[in-house]
Structure 1
Amino acid sequence: MLKLSHCCPLSRQRLNKALLMAKEELNSILPIEEQGTSEFVDCKEASSISCVLQKEVEEKVDNLDLDEPPDLPECTKKKKKKSKSKKKKELPEQTDPPSIPIVELFPSGEFPEGEIQQYKDDNLWRTTSEEKRELERLEKPIYNSVRRAAEVHRQVRKYIKGILKPGMLMIDLCETLENTVRKLISENSLQAGIAFPTGCSLNWVAAHWTPNSGDKTVLQYDDVMKLDFGTHVDGHIVDCAFTVAFNPMFDPLLEASREATNTGIKESGIDVRLCDVGAAIQEVMESYEVDINGKQLIAKIILFVVAKTTRLPFYTSRSIGVSRSVDSRYSKLPRLSSELGDGSGIRNLNGHSIGCYQIHAGKSVPIVKGGEQTKMEEGEFFAIETFASTGKGYVREDLECSHYMKNFDAGHIPLRLPRAKQLLATINKNFSTLAFCRRYLDRLGETKYLMALKNLSDAGIVQPYPPLCDIKGSYVSQFEHTILLRPTCKEVISRGDDY
């Protein structure tokens, strides 16, 4: 016989109910006292009825399905707790146009890793080294900061590519881009923000051009525009650039610099000599032919060749919309730096190492063979960039200057002009050793600062960076990525789905 003590609480409740019903049924047959009178049945008959009822009760109990819930009254039913399905909170999606700060899109504080490339040959062992992995764990905060800056760069350039079209004012384009960066990176003085002015150099202008206030330059269908902008978090800089051309005629020119940059990234690594990277880049670049208006041209690598004595004044009033004849002083400049003797005052337009709050940290990544024998080292950041040109293949400083940067190694230099001192205080507070442009000073409310800026330049505190130009009528393309030589692998921090 089933013992109630062995049943679960629900089963005991059902058995008790069955027994209660049987007892009530039995009482309806046994003596009933009704209105003061008693009605009796024969004892033998009552005994037989009792036995029959007991058997019926036992049969009902045996046939009772304890797995099915009983038909209990509503008052006796226990309300089952609804199992709350634990739904993961959906991460917010970026708006269009972008307005949500990146830190809100990644509440965990972990930002997407860039493209990982394994080291080759003698450095393969690094991939599985526990010692190197531990070094990476120690550097994780730095990696996370620069990845945050890279994610901002990816989202901003995606948005800008979607709105670019002929007829836009260049100054409107730059301010839209820069304001978007400020929102997404949660600009906070020197802790996070824009790393350097937005370069939007057109056609034969290779680099370092951004519109000054009042500039009316308009983007045209047949323009080749290099869009070079940077972001930073805690001084960790992402330097990344791409080229935009609406006319498909320029596609091979763009592909030449894109493929050359990817080759430079592929060849880079710990203990790799910078000259070997340059040789690989040159081989790829010179394999491309470009057909411009029916004229076949070989894509040339750009070199920056300029003598110190020919630098243009930074305060010139010329704008990019005004044509200027090529100075005869440049007509016989040598094309390769190796032809320049001791090379004093000569610089190549090429890739470079990046330091904290320092866009050019000392090492140069050449884009031709025969460069530096210096090796890349573990933990270094590099900007790998290449320029392809249909012109002469070397650039000179020209046009109105817009880019400036405080000298990273400048110590205390006494200044006589109070206005220069005040301007330097503004630069130290808002930019430190990061590059800036005149529009940024205008935005801060600075006025009538050109003489003070010249004074800072003459004192060697601030360095002007005029636009770098090939010959007029030529076209230049550029692609650039920031890479990190981690102890175990190479990370292309700024890599995205676009390039």
Structure 2
Amino acid sequence: MIMDDEIYDAYREAGALARKILHQGAGLVKEGASILEMVETTEKMVTDEGAFLAFPLNVSLNEAAAHDTAMPGDERTFARGDLVKVDLGVQIDGYIADTALTVDLGDHGPLVEASRAALDAAIATVRPGITAGDIGAVVQATIEERGYKPVANLTGHGLDRYDLHTRPSIPNVAMNGGAAIEEGMIFAIEPFATTGSGRIGEATRVEIYQQISARPARLPSAKRVLEVARPRRGLPFSRRWVPGDKVEIGLSSLVRAGVLHPFPVLHDVPGSFVSQAEHTLIVTDGGCEVTTR
């Protein structure tokens, strides 16, 4: 992608807005507060600013690392002791800022600091000529020296217009090589630190989907799903956003037809805790500019 002034400004504007709203939304995470109300209020902050969500607000608790969001009619509330990952994506004309932080409602301060310190250390290494593997080594070392494990099978990711996951992939563990970092690259670094196994698996619950192909739908419920999905231009959406009944039938039919890709909630082992920190950056000739800080 050629980075002209208009595109650069869109990335910076999306980043500034994402930073502001992430912290405002995280401030709503309080013991006894409704998860649904927190999510919908934060998502509305984005649209009230004249921008758009790059993906549904992710709010993942305790051993859950990613891909959770409020369910339709969600009755869950935040509880004392919860460790809450809040992950927000904002897009302006398709140009994306992706940023996350962890809210501690318990006594998980050192774990929260592990992912945050790993992010800061990783950002400090970014410059043209290093490799993605070099960044992963810094993330892993920073987390492990604090007594925790990095989540090995989650990575940071490149960003492009209306594309949340493109090259380069930024690992959270050391690896040989990986993509060479080049000036003009835009990507998100997102370290996850865990008290658990260091590897996440998929839960059965799915709240987030992405349209990956275009085919006609026969079922009325599937047509309603596509009315929500098509304007997203391939960016993820929440089943909570689809109006009407029999939504699950429509979603299931479109997944079976290869039209939608599901994103199950991702989690470490039960009883563990996972923290996350994330920023989006643009690689410059001598380092990087963090758009979400």
TM-score range, shorter chain: over 0.9
Q: Which residue of 2 aligns with 1:260?
A: 118
The Cα of 1:438 is off from its aligned counterpart by 1.1
Counterpart among 334, 356, 360 of residue 165 in structure 2: 360
For 2:264, the aligned partner's letter is P
Q: Which residue of 1 aligns with 2:92?
A: 233
Q: Distance in 2 between matches of 1:418 and 1:163?
A: 36
The Cα of 1:268 is off from its aligned counterpart by 2.0
For 2:41, the aligned partner's letter is T
For 2:126, the aligned partner's letter is S
Q: Which residue of 1 aligns with 2:225?
A: 423
Q: Which residue of 2 aligns with 1:39?
A: none
The Cα of 1:372 is off from its aligned counterpart by 4.7
Q: Distance in 1 between matches of 2:211 and 2:120?
A: 31
For 2:92, the aligned partner's letter is V
Match of 2:42, SS state, is helix
Q: Which has the higher contact order (CA 8 A, sep 6+)?
A: 2
User: Do the aligned residues in 1 keep the contact of 2:58 with 2:68 (CA within 8 Å)?
Assistant: yes
State the TM-score, normalized to the length of structure 1: 0.56
Q: Which residue of 1 aligns with 2:134?
A: 276
Q: Which residue of 2 aligns with 1:167?
A: 32
For 2:149, the aligned partner's letter is K
Q: Which residue of 1 aligns with 2:238?
A: 437
Counterpart among 136, 141, 151 of residue 16 in structure 2: 151
Q: Distance in 2 between matches of 1:139 and 1:422?
A: 37
| 1:388 aligned onto 2:237 | no
Deviations 1:188-241 (A, max 9, x none): xxxx31111111100011111012112211101210000001111010010000
The structure that has the greater radius of gyration is: 1
Q: Which residue of 1 aligns with 2:253?
A: 455
Higher strand share: 2
Q: Distance in 1 between matches of 2:131 and 2:48?
A: 39
For 1:201, the aligned partner's letter is S
For 1:453, the aligned partner's letter is L
Deviations 1:421-454 (A, max 9, x none): 553244112x121111111223xxx432222211
For 1:470, the aligned partner's letter is D
Aligned CA distance change for structure 1 residues 207 and 459 (closer, same or farther; 3 Å): same
Identity %: 36
Q: Which residue of 2 aligns with 1:206?
A: 65
Counterpart among 467, 470, 486 of residue 268 in structure 2: 470
Q: Distance in 1 between matches of 2:248 and 2:150?
A: 35
The Cα of 1:417 is off from its aligned counterpart by 4.5
User: Do the aligned residues in 1 keep the contact of 2:82 with 2:104 (CA within 8 Å)?
Assistant: yes
Match of 2:88, SS state, is strand
User: Do the aligned residues in 2 keep the contact of 1:387 with 1:476 (CA within 8 Å)?
Assistant: yes
The Cα of 1:378 is off from its aligned counterpart by 2.3
Counterpart among 176, 179, 185 of residue 44 in structure 2: 179
Q: Distance in 1 between matches of 2:240 and 2:279?
A: 26
Q: Distance in 2 between matches of 1:250 and 1:422?
A: 42
For 1:483, the aligned partner's letter is L
User: Do the aligned residues in 1 keep the contact of 2:22 with 2:88 (CA within 8 Å)?
Assistant: no
For 1:232, the aligned partner's letter is Q
Q: Which residue of 2 aligns with 1:483?
A: 281
For 2:25, the aligned partner's letter is I
Q: How many residues align?
A: 293
Aligned CA distance change for structure 1 residues 362 and 458 (closer, same or farther; 3 Å): farther
Q: Which residue of 2 aligns with 1:308?
A: none
Q: Which residue of 2 aligns with 1:78?
A: none
User: Do the aligned residues in 1 keep the contact of 2:96 with 2:164 (CA within 8 Å)?
Assistant: yes
Q: Distance in 1 between matches of 2:145 and 2:5?
A: 40
User: Do the aligned residues in 2 keep the contact of 1:205 with 1:470 (CA within 8 Å)?
Assistant: yes
Q: Distance in 2 between matches of 1:415 and 1:177?
A: 32
Match of 2:277, SS state, is strand
Q: Distance in 2 between matches of 1:255 and 1:374?
A: 27
Match of 1:241, SS state, is strand
Match of 2:139, SS state, is helix
Q: Distance in 1 between matches of 2:79 and 2:108?
A: 14
Q: Distance in 2 between matches of 1:362 and 1:406?
A: 20
User: Do the aligned residues in 2 keep the contact of 1:278 with 1:371 (CA within 8 Å)?
Assistant: no
The Cα of 1:489 is off from its aligned counterpart by 4.7
The Cα of 1:162 is off from its aligned counterpart by 3.7
The Cα of 1:271 is off from its aligned counterpart by 2.6
User: Do the aligned residues in 2 keep the contact of 1:271 with 1:375 (CA within 8 Å)?
Assistant: yes
User: Do the aligned residues in 2 keep the contact of 1:366 with 1:372 (CA within 8 Å)?
Assistant: no
The Cα of 1:400 is off from its aligned counterpart by 1.5
Mapping of residues 271-420 of structure 1, within 5 Å: 271-288=129-146, 298-303=147-152, 348-407=153-212, 410=213, 412-413=214-215, 415=217, 417=219, 419-420=221-222
Aligned CA distance change for structure 1 residues 452 and 229 (closer, same or farther; 3 Å): same
The Cα of 1:161 is off from its aligned counterpart by 4.0
For 1:268, the aligned partner's letter is V
Q: Distance in 2 between matches of 1:482 and 1:240?
A: 6
Aligned CA distance change for structure 1 residues 371 and 169 (closer, same or farther; 3 Å): farther
Match of 1:165, SS state, is coil
Q: Which residue of 1 aligns with 2:109?
A: 251
Mapping of residues 4-43 of structure 1, within 5 Å: none
The Cα of 1:459 is off from its aligned counterpart by 2.1
Aligned CA distance change for structure 1 residues 372 and 454 (closer, same or farther; 3 Å): farther
